Amino acid sequence: MPEASQVHINMALTNVSLAYRNPAFISDIIAPPVGVRKQQDRYFILDSEREAFRASDDHRAPGTQANEVDFALSSDTYFCEDHALTSIVPDEERDNADPAIQPDIDRTEFLSDKIDINKEIELANTVATDSDLTSTTLSGTDQWSDATNSDPIGDIETGKAAVIAACQVVPNTLVLPYDVYSNVRVHDDILGRLQYTGGGVPTSETLAGLFDVERVLVPRALKNTAAPGQTASMSYVWGKNAFLCYVPPRAGLKTVAFALTFAWTSAPGSSGGRLVENWRDNTRKGDMIRVQRYYDQKVIANGAIYVWKAAVA
């Protein structure tokens, strides 16, 4: 009788494969995309000195002129840089690929993910290093990983007050990277506030209600910091910094926003600022695929964010 291994020749499954994809990017959520027609242009900044908030004498005696007031108008620039990566699909790969492998689709998704992770890392680095952003560095018993002595609820209220004072908007988005989130949700103060709700360990939605914000985002995006060819070394893109910011429902005129992503949507051949191209390279006997994204991820209102660096140990 033949062995089981002799009656079946191993081949690739057509309905199952493994791919490592990055979850929970948030850069386009907290820095909403704004479509622009030109790669470079200017945008206006109205009343940066907050003249509209200043009390003025508006009494007018009969026959006299009303007191004249006005506001300042300035502008700033953006430039949508070209972010592009290329890969080749050799003829040999395409001709020998099993049905579960889709060389063109796999390459396009791979290149898109690479560009998106760069964008995520760029914004995370801005939040961590930009000295113009209001921040405080926690240490020791003040870090939220100290479930007994730290005060995350009080700290977040302090952050709210700072944003309101700076930009006159109530911050609506609290970002707790996974390492921070996993500590905050089991903090003594948090569990104490929720002990009579019967909800168990709180979720991001529960924390949003507790902290009185519209949403709590928990980014889980990971980056590989190992050198090429070495065993992958994975770490969270957003690290252990938490922050509170204001994100408008939509970007528009006379709107405050912590950051915006200017996307050159009119770039030739692009769709929403993204461009996927392919062409034949006979000298390499393969098809080239290039993915591009034109954008400028720019901090618009420094005061619309409050950062806690090293929020957990």
What distances in angstroms separate CA 254 from CA 43, 47, 188, one per listed residue? 11, 10, 41
Instruction: Report which secondary-structure segment, H or E, holds 262.
Output: strand 259-264
Give the pLDDT of residue 31: 94
The pLDDT confidence band at residue 59, using thresholds 50, 70 and 90, is: confident
Stated pTM of the model = 0.84
CA 126 to chain CA centroid, nearest Å: 11
- Cα separation, 160 vs 180, whole angstroms: 18
pLDDT for position 99: 81
Q: What is the pLDDT of residue 5?
A: 45
Q: Is the pLDDT of residue 203 over 70?
A: yes
What Å distances lie between residue 225 and 26, 120, 194, CA to CA?
Answer: 20, 14, 38
Distance CA 216, CA 180 (A): 12
Mean pLDDT in residue range 65-78: 79
Q: What is the pLDDT of residues 233-269, one digit of tens each?
A: 999 999 999 999 999 988 777 788 999 999 998 888 7
Q: Output the pLDDT for position 23.
A: 53
Q: Which is higher by pLDDT, 3 or 89?
A: 89
What is the Cα–Cα distance from 273 to 116, expressed in whole angstroms?
13
Angstrom distance (rounded) from CA 313 to CA 311: 7
Residues 136-174 have pLDDT tens digits of 999 999 999 999 999 999 999 999 999 999 999 999 999
Q: What is the overall mean pLDDT for the chain?
A: 87
- With a cut of 70, say whether residue 275 has pLDDT above it: yes
- Alpha-carbon distance 139 to 177, whole Å? 17
DSSP bridge pairs for 134: 306
Query: Taking a C-beta distance cutoff of 8 angstroms, is the pair 47, 72 a contact?
Result: yes
Q: Where is pLDDT greater, at 133 or 197?
A: 133
Q: Which 8-state DSSP code applies to residue 264?
A: E
| pLDDT value for 194 | 85
pLDDT of residue 199: 65
Quote the tokens at residue 78: 């953006």
In 2-72 the beta strands, taken as DSSP E runs, fall at 33-36, 40-46
pLDDT (tens digit per residue) in 1-38: 444 444 344 444 344 434 444 557 899 999 999 999 99
Interior CA angle at 257 toward 251 and 262, to 5°? 55
Lowest mean pLDDT among 81-90, 189-198, 258-267: 189-198
Q: Kindly indicate the confidence band of residue 198, based on its pLDDT and cuts at 50, 70 and 90.
A: low
Question: For residues 270 and 139, what is the distance between their CA atoms, to the nearest angstrom?
Answer: 47
Question: Domain 21-46+72-309 carries which CATH code?
Answer: 3.90.1690.10
Q: What is the pLDDT of residues 90-118, one digit of tens each?
A: 999 988 888 878 888 898 889 999 999 99
User: What radius of gyration, in Å, describes the C-alpha atoms of the chain?
Assistant: 26
Over residues 43-66, the mean pLDDT reads: 76
| Contact indicator for 309, 155 with CB cutoff of 8 Å | no
User: In the chain, what are the domain boundaries?
Assistant: 21-46+72-309
Band of residue 201 on the pLDDT scale cut at 50, 70, 90 = confident
Which position has the higher pLDDT, 65 or 92?
92
User: Average pLDDT for residues 273-294, to the nearest whole number?
Assistant: 91
